């Protein structure tokens, strides 16, 4: 068990509603598992004395936290509360009955500890011993798993299993809404959509009958079907943060991404640092160089990048924060170029970020910067995605030169896009560009490129191509960066 201020390996979340017959024995078994852990029991307004039983156990078990919901809200709501409070590296869901065996925790967490998985499902249909009973209940579970797999493209054998295990940063980053048993298909759909690595391990199962306290019924089955369709086929725009939805939408703009790429590729070398890679929209265009290091400051995006490119030779994924000097440790990759697309405007201290980019590059290394242009266009869409600013040409060039770079070329792009941005952000005050407008814009990119065959005098975006000048001063700067990283 965790002691003092030590961070536990495991957070066990136990939703509890009227389980007085089993909860004490269940907690005894959980406590006996030899893993550093905290246990969070979320009582959903039990009326049978379950609360008092757990309170007595919590009084002599420092590793047990006991939370009571203000009103009866359902299993999903109890799980959301427990997940919010969890501090362990790994979060495991455990029912308060005795259908599942806590002694199997080591098997469930091992794929995550080994670095192979982000999420683990325990399959009742692949493991033994398994109590034989309730054929129609089993058939219903298999049908729901089939329907879930058809909408998520996973090949699970048991979507409805209680035993779901997550890296804590994964599950705490997923916005969940279901209050009842819809938690299972909802979390499965959202895990699949983000591309997390899901493993399945066999577990034993000791099912109980309804007279023993089983609560799920046919109404929950109908609700599960609706939840599967809702989150699998018709996900809401509010299911994910706006920044993530924007990246997904941008990933579909193939012509636009190609336009951006062709504007900067002359300044991209063979050992590339990609700053703010997001979900890998531009990383795919960099593939084929001898070394690409895709980075992001947001852990969910780092996870997505690792899962997407883990089998691609020459692509490494790293966490990087240009606001922190510790990022200079990545100088060990000996980068000959850096690509920083739609990133600088998200950083409060952009001058410091440019200085760190200078330290990360080898002498003569090139830099491609792509940012939103024209401070007069700053509006609601900038605010909603976390922009601190839009740039004028003179201001951006001055900051890049102050950081030690030599500017080779600076130009605007997408002159006609200014009108759409101004209308949506300044007049309609929207938080994001409507998807229909984005798709139309992407269709028109070939025409826009012909119009802008000569770089325009203004545009929606600003591109700067620069390099780190070689020489004694540059060499000294690089040595200092490597020394800082070593410290």
Domain chopping of the chain, boundaries = 10-239, 242-486
Tell me what the mean pLDDT of segment 48-69 comes to. 95
- Model confidence at 16, pLDDT cuts 50, 70, 90, reads very high
DSSP readout, 197-222? -EEEEE--B----GGGT----HHHHH
CA nearest 385: which of 268, 190, 201, 242? Answer: 242
Task: For 254, list phi and psi in degrees, rounded to 5.
Answer: -60, -45
CA distance 317 to 298: 12
The answer to whether the beta carbons of residues 384 and 431 sit under 8 Å apart is yes
DSSP readout, 388-447? ---B-HHHHHHHHHHTTEEEEEEEEE-STHHHHHHIIIIIS--SS--HHHHHHHHHHHHH
CA distance 165 to 466: 46
Q: Please state the pTM of the whole predicted model.
A: 0.71
Predicted confidence (pLDDT) per residue in 354-388, tens digit: 999 999 999 999 999 999 999 999 999 999 889 99
Helix (H) or strand (E) holding 12: strand 10-16
Kindly give, in sequence order, each residue whose CB lies less than 8 Å from that of residue 306, ignoring residues fewer than 6 positions away.
317
The answer to whether the beta carbons of residues 292 and 286 sit under 8 Å apart is yes
DSSP readout, 262-322? HHHGGG--SEEEEES-TTTTTHHHHBTBSEEEEEESSHHHHHHHHHHHTTSTTEEEEE--T
- Model confidence at 271, pLDDT cuts 50, 70, 90, reads very high
The mean predicted confidence, pLDDT, of the chain is 88
CA nearest 175: which of 235, 122, 98? Answer: 235
Tell me what the mean pLDDT of segment 231-244 comes to. 69
The answer to whether the beta carbons of residues 372 and 342 sit under 8 Å apart is yes
Tell me what the mean pLDDT of segment 17-41 comes to. 96
Q: What's the pLDDT at 135?
A: 72
CA nearest 400: which of 318, 476, 462, 472? Answer: 462
Q: What's the pLDDT at 471?
A: 64
The answer to whether the beta carbons of residues 54 and 23 sit under 8 Å apart is yes
Q: What's the pLDDT at 311?
A: 76
Q: What's the pLDDT at 1?
A: 47
CA angle 171, 176, 177 (to 5 degrees): 165
Q: What's the pLDDT at 137?
A: 73
Q: SS3 of 370, please?
A: strand
Q: Select from 3.40.50.150, 3.40.50.2020, 3.90.950.10, 3.40.190.10 the CATH code of 242-486.
A: 3.40.50.150
Which is more confident, 487 or 316?
316
- Model confidence at 12, pLDDT cuts 50, 70, 90, reads very high
DSSP readout, 108-150? HHHHHHTTS-SEEEEETTTSSSB----HHHHHHHHHHHHHHHH
Percent of the chain with pLDDT over 70: 90
**Omega before 129 within 30 of 0, i.e. cis:** yes
Q: SS3 of 377, please?
A: helix
Q: What's the pLDDT at 212?
A: 46
**CATH of the domain spanning 10-239:** 3.90.550.10
Predicted confidence (pLDDT) per residue in 62-103, tens digit: 999 999 999 999 999 999 999 999 999 999 999 998 999 999
**Secondary structure of 60-110 in the HEC alphabet?**
CCCCEEEEECCCCCCHHHHHHHHHHHCCCCEEEECCCCCCCCHHHHHHHHH
Q: What's the pLDDT at 7?
A: 86
The answer to whether the beta carbons of residues 198 and 192 sit under 8 Å apart is yes
Which is more confident, 208 or 365?
365
How far is the CA of 283 from the CAs of 155, 208, 249, 268, 321, in angstroms?
Answer: 27, 50, 16, 12, 18
pLDDT at 221 over 90: no
Which is more confident, 232 or 266?
266
CA nearest 480: which of 271, 323, 328, 321? Answer: 328
Predicted confidence (pLDDT) per residue in 394-413, tens digit: 999 999 999 999 999 999 99
Number of Cβ atoms within 10 Å of the Cβ of 472: 7
Predicted confidence (pLDDT) per residue in 435-485, tens digit: 889 889 989 999 988 888 787 889 999 999 999 988 644 444 555 545 554
- Model confidence at 130, pLDDT cuts 50, 70, 90, reads low
The answer to whether the beta carbons of residues 118 and 197 sit under 8 Å apart is yes
Q: What's the pLDDT at 213?
A: 47
pLDDT at 147 over 50: yes
Q: What's the pLDDT at 215?
A: 53
What residues pair up with 39 in beta bridges, in sequence order?
12, 64
CA angle 126, 132, 133 (to 5 degrees): 120
């Amino acid at each position: 068990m965790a002691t003092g201020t030590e961070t536990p390996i495991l957070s066990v979340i136990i939703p509890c509603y009227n389980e007085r017959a089993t909860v004490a024995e269940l907690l005894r078994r959980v406590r006996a598992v030899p893993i550093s852990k905290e246990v969070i029991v979320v009582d959903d307004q039990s009326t049978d004395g379950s609360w008092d039983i757990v309170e007595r156990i919590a009084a002599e078990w420092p590793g047990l936290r006991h939370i009571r919901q203000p009103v009866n809200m359902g299993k999903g709501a109890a799980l959301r509360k427990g997940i919010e409070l969890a501090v362990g590296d790994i979060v495991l869901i455990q029912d308060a009955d005795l259908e599942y065996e806590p002694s199997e925790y080591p098997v469930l967490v091992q794929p995550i500890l080994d670095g192979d998985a982000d999420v683990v499902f325990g399959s009742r249909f692949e493991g033994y011993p398994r109590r034989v009973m309730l054929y129609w209940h089993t058939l219903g579970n298999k049908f729901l798993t089939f329907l879930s797999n058809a909408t998520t493209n996973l090949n699970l054998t048991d979507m409805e299993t209680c035993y779901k295990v997550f890296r804590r940063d994964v599950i705490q980053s997923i916005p969940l809404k279901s209050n009842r048993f819809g938690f299972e298909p909802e979390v499965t759909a959202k895990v699949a959509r983000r591309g997390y690595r899901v493993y399945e391990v066999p577990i034993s199962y000791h099912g109980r009958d309804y007279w023993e306290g089983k609560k799920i019924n046919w109404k929950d089955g109908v609700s599960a079907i609706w939840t599967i369709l809702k989150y699998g086929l018709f996900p809401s725009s509010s299911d994910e943060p706006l920044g993530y939805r924007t990246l997904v939408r941008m990933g579909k703009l193939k012509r636009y991404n190609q336009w951006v790429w062709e504007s900067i590729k002359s300044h991209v070398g063979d050992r590339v640092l990609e700053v703010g890679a997001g979900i890998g929209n531009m990383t795919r265009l960099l593939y084929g160089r001898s070394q690409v290091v895709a980075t992001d400051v947001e852990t969910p995006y780092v996870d997505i990048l690792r899962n997407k490119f883990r089998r691609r030779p020459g692509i490494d994924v790293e966490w990087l924060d240009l606001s922190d000097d510790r990022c200079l440790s990545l100088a060990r990759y000996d980068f000959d170029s850096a690509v920083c697309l739609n990133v600088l405007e998200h950083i409060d201290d952009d001058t410091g970020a440019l200085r760190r980019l200078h330290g990360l590059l080898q002498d003569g290394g090139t830099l491609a910067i792509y940012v939103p242009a024209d401070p007069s266009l700053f509006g609601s869409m900038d605010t909603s995605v976390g922009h601190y600013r839009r740039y004028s040409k003179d201001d951006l060039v001055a900051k890049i030169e102050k950081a030690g770079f030599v500017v080779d070329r600076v130009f605007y792009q997408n002159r006609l896009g200014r009108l759409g941005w101004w209308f949506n952000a300044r007049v309609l005050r929207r938080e994001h560009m409507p998807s229909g407008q984005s798709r139309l814009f992407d269709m028109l990119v070939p025409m826009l490129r012909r119009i802008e065959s000569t770089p325009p005098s203004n545009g929606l975006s600003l591109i700067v191509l620069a390099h780190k000048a070689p020489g004694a001063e540059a060499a000294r700067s690089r040595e200092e960066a490597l020394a800082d990283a070593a410290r």
